[in-house]
Structure 1
Amino acid sequence: MGHKDMKKTLLAIGVLGAFSVSAYAQNSVTLYGLIDTGLIYTNNQAGHSNWQMATSSTQNTVFGLKGTEDLGGGVRTIFKLEQGFNLNNGSQAFPGDAFGSQAWVGLQSENLGTVTLGRQFDVLNDQLGPITAGSNTWGGNLAAHPFENDNLAADSVVVNNSVKYVSPTYAGVTFEGMYSFSNKAGGFADNRAYGFSVGYAHGPVNLAGGYLQFNNAGGGVSGTNPNGAIAQADGSANFIAERQRIWGAGGNYTFGPATVGFVWSHTQIDNMAGVISLGLGSYLPLGGNLRLDNYEVNAHYSVTSAWSVSGAYTFTDGAYNQGATKASPKWNSVMLQTDYSLSKRTDVYLEGVYQHVHGAPADSVLADAMINTLSPSSTGTQVAVTVGLRHQF
């Protein structure tokens, strides 16, 4: 073979190799995960102080598979299979579910948007959640609003049988819509969910808002379809109720190393049968109707590229009635955190959360403070402090 032929052959091999690498990059399956664990001190859980090892205090501890296949013409197949688990004992975060955190597949088009089908987070959580402290690493699950009543912290409510559409982003605006089937013959509306959200992002400004509704979540009071859109057996339902409606809106602004935000959400829960305590892993009896308005202000500041501090305050204004019993419970919740990154994938944090509730009926679970993921206090006040380690891969 001559020198010129050799050069042509090597060039051809190089070009084929480049196409091969490009094709490989466009069709991939990735194993990923996040581990969040630490020690928590709580001043009052059922009347006793408690030191405990905990997992997912800020972010859900998960492992999963995600992938994509290029179909050509700007269209690709995408999927995600994700399982949440408790690091302290290895148990499933969603008992009985093989992929309880997420399990979906869909098609994504650069021009038309994305459609996904399966078990997914809801549309309000997708766009409004990231503006709250409860949905971020710098606050997380412990900083969720009382009873996680608006589903913005993404630690428990995952919706079954869902079809979700996400639009392309036009001039900074993204729209999402979803419908989640009850999957019950003769009970189309028995444990279904639906909603929409809109987000806007441009430069330092982020805005979002939307609406979400559950009908007979967890089977409702009658328990006729406990494993429809919002399952009861695996703890996906925060409330067992005939109907739950959530409105929300908020925004944040970034200037230099600081971000400040405000979020309002309104939750209406009709004809309840119970509310879940993640700390106990069980439902606490609670009947009647409950209205909650959550007003959150938050701030995050990067002191250096590795060290950050953050805080949030939420005032929750409630209205409760059951027969002749009427009350106006109110919650004050405060979160402070400092975080230090040891590397791009590992960080340590120290976080404190305070919650106080007053004005609730004395014999109701509403009268006991209950920081998200922890067992309830025996009084209207609860304080928790945690030191934790996070690693993602």
Structure 2
Amino acid sequence: MKAKLAVAATLLGVSAGAMAQSSVTLFGALDEALVYANNAGGGATVQMLDSYHWNTMWGLEGTEDLGGGLKANFYLANYFNLSNGQNFNSGSFFYGGAWVGLSKQEYGSVTLGRHYDYSVYLLSNMPGVNATLAQTPGNLDHTGGGYLNNAITYTSPTFGGVTFSGLYAFPGGTSDPFATGRAFSLSLTYRGSSFRAAAVATKINGAYVTPTLAGMNMFLGQDVIPYVKVHVDSQNIYGIAASYDLTSKFTLQASYTDVAFAGFNQYQSVRTATASAVYSFAPDLKLTGAYQHSGLGSGDMNSYSLFLDYFLSKRTDVYTAVHYAQSGGATQSATLFTLAPSTTSHQVAVAAGIRHFF
């Protein structure tokens, strides 16, 4: 449930009748899991993992009715680690987004600020294993979220279930050591009663990526240092996804992404195909199974996930999951996203956690 904070006109010293109607909403989510891995960096580990099933965060969003159907809107989101209370990213307080804009139902909306690129639509519009350890290798395709500063976005009205979105991001500036160059992102989504689909294309010039999060020991022909970002000339992301409700209890989903990197006079592609099925035993109990294959240029990786989610209420659920990754290739390690790579070609993880929305 979101808590709404009324904007009182009397506090501003003006009459309520002379003021446009406004609202501000405080929202957030808390998510923490306990994870066992059989081999993470050479040995078995047990650890707490923040934001396993959902980003732990709080935020503010608001709107002001300007009259004639025109509205002013804003959004601010802070991601943080529940295990220690620290910000998720020390260099960005509102890491999860910060923008302001205008909207009108018949024309769409325009925003300015920090925004995710639209690759995330491939995941957010589809049911599946929404868990950190089930993320595509290294999140190189940004289906788990990728943010761009200095962005201007446009989202069209929805016609017959179809919505178009476009984003342009200006170069990041010299104050950010990991600032990207100019970027573009486009998406086309469809939402029907039982069928959903999305297609995205994103191009980021001067991007920074972390190959070891995908288990890569070599990238673009270069040896990589564990967890050190690599600057590439360009990162091009293309993806499609679709889901279909076979019944009110059973849903099938599939997606495919192709990420092309250029740098060091080399080219490398990362291609990932995912298939999943979701079955609801009851309104409060859901089981999801997923298979994922990634061709990483330096090798390949197959991963399997089972995720059981039980809702204690509309705002609180508990969950448990099992994940398995298997790698192939001399320069490719098995790794589930955010865990240290296995020293073998296999990695297994078991997780249990809780999520609460407010």
Q: TM-score, normalised by structure 2?
A: 0.84
Q: What is the DSSP-based 3-state SS (H/G/I as helix, E as strand, rest coil) of the residue aligned with 2:283?
A: coil
Q: What is the DSSP-based 3-state SS (H/G/I as helix, E as strand, rest coil) of the residue aligned with 1:126?
A: helix
Pick one of 303, 306, 315 that aligns with 2:284.
306
The gaps in structure 1 that reach 5 residues or longer are: 1-19, 221-236, 273-286, 321-328, 362-366
Q: What is the DSSP-based 3-state SS (H/G/I as helix, E as strand, rest coil) of the residue aligned with 1:131?
A: coil
* In structure 2, distance between residues paired with 1:343 and 1:314: 31
* In structure 1, distance between residues paired with 2:74 and 2:97: 10
The structure with more radius of gyration: 1
Q: What is the DSSP-based 3-state SS (H/G/I as helix, E as strand, rest coil) of the residue aligned with 2:119?
A: helix
Letter in 1 for 2:165: E
Alignment partner, residue 341 of structure 1: 311
1:22 shift after superposition: 11
Matches within 5 A, 1:75-114: 75-114=70-109
Pick one of 203, 208, 213 that aligns with 1:213.
203
* In structure 2, distance between residues paired with 1:143 and 1:22: 52
Alignment partner, residue 233 of structure 1: none
Alignment partner, residue 3 of structure 1: none
Alignment partner, residue 153 of structure 1: 144
* In structure 1, distance between residues paired with 2:158 and 2:291: 31
* 8 Å Cα contact 2:123-2:144 kept in structure 1: no
1:25 shift after superposition: 11
Letter in 1 for 2:188: V
* In structure 1, distance between residues paired with 2:172 and 2:342: 38
* In structure 1, distance between residues paired with 2:141 and 2:127: 11
Q: Deviations over 1:355-374 (max 9, x none)?
A: 1110242xxxxx21221122
Please identify, of 124-133 and 173-182, the stretch whose mean Cα deviation from structure 2 is larger: 124-133
Pick one of 69, 75, 90 that aligns with 1:74.
69
Pick one of 248, 256, 259 that aligns with 2:251.
259
Matched, 1:39 2:31: no
Matched, 1:29 2:12: no
* In structure 1, distance between residues paired with 2:18 and 2:188: 34
Matched, 1:375 2:340: yes
* 8 Å Cα contact 1:46-1:377 kept in structure 2: yes
Alignment partner, residue 181 of structure 1: 170
* In structure 1, distance between residues paired with 2:101 and 2:111: 4
Matched, 1:194 2:194: no
Distance 1:216 1:60, change over 3 A: same
Matched, 1:391 2:333: no
Distance 1:339 1:96, change over 3 A: same
* In structure 1, distance between residues paired with 2:39 and 2:234: 32
* In structure 1, distance between residues paired with 2:157 and 2:318: 36
* 8 Å Cα contact 1:125-1:153 kept in structure 2: yes
Q: What is the DSSP-based 3-state SS (H/G/I as helix, E as strand, rest coil) of the residue aligned with 2:339?
A: coil
RMSD (Å), alpha carbons: 2.6
* 8 Å Cα contact 1:192-1:217 kept in structure 2: no
Q: Deviations over 1:221-251 (max 9, x none)?
A: xxxxxxxxxxxxxxxx976311111111121
1:252 shift after superposition: 0.5
Pick one of 156, 164, 172 that aligns with 2:161.
172
Matched, 1:162 2:136: no
Q: Deviations over 1:56-109 (max 9, x none)?
A: 112110011111111111111111111101111111111121211111111111
* 8 Å Cα contact 2:115-2:149 kept in structure 1: yes
The gaps in structure 2 that reach 5 residues or longer are: 1-14, 211-227
Q: What is the DSSP-based 3-state SS (H/G/I as helix, E as strand, rest coil) of the residue aligned with 1:303?
A: strand
1:26 shift after superposition: 5.0
Q: What is the DSSP-based 3-state SS (H/G/I as helix, E as strand, rest coil) of the residue aligned with 1:198?
A: strand
Letter in 2 for 1:339: D
Pick one of 320, 333, 343 that aligns with 1:350.
320
* In structure 2, distance between residues paired with 1:304 and 1:88: 32
Q: What is the DSSP-based 3-state SS (H/G/I as helix, E as strand, rest coil) of the residue aligned with 2:297?
A: strand
Pick one of 114, 121, 133 that aligns with 1:142.
133
Letter in 1 for 2:139: E
* In structure 2, distance between residues paired with 1:127 and 1:23: 43
Q: TM-score, normalised by structure 1?
A: 0.77
1:218 shift after superposition: 3.6
Letter in 2 for 1:336: L
1:377 shift after superposition: 1.6
Alignment partner, residue 61 of structure 1: 56
1:48 shift after superposition: 1.0
* In structure 2, distance between residues paired with 1:126 and 1:172: 15
1:130 shift after superposition: 2.7
Letter in 1 for 2:346: T
Matched, 1:125 2:125: no
* 8 Å Cα contact 2:125-2:196 kept in structure 1: no
Q: Percent of aligned pairs with the same residue?
A: 37
Q: What is the DSSP-based 3-state SS (H/G/I as helix, E as strand, rest coil) of the residue aligned with 1:80?
A: strand
Matches within 5 A, 1:276-295: 289-295=267-273
Matches within 5 A, 1:355-366: 355-361=325-331
* In structure 1, distance between residues paired with 2:342 and 2:77: 32
1:314 shift after superposition: 0.6
* In structure 2, distance between residues paired with 1:297 and 1:76: 39
Matched, 1:247 2:238: yes
